[in-house]
Amino acid sequence: MVTLAGVVTVVVTVEVVGFLLLLFELQPAVNELRAIAAAMPAATETRRTVPLPVMSTPIS
């Protein structure tokens, strides 16, 4: 006979194991997002220092 406590224990165990596996799979993606976020201010600063070409003829 299956008890409610047994079913709850199995479900909680499966959920916890699935969550831990998901964390381990997502770790490389999290590291990549952190690297991209760290590079963003540097890219913005570089873009600001580059002069934009000025158009001599207006578009009409």
pLDDT digits (tens, 9 = 90+) for 34-60: 887 777 766 555 555 556 566 666 665
Query: CA-CA distance, 7 to 13, in Å (whole number)?
Result: 10
Token pair 């299956």 in the structure block, residue: 2
Task: Report pLDDT for 9.
Answer: 86
Q: Round to whole Å and give the CA distance between 11 and 5.
A: 10
Q: What is the pTM of this model?
A: 0.38
- Mean per-residue pLDDT, 21-37: 77
Q: Which two tokens stand for residue 25?
A: 């799979």
- Say yes or no to pLDDT of 2 above 60: yes
How confident is the model over 7-17, as pLDDT tens digits?
A: 888 888 988 88
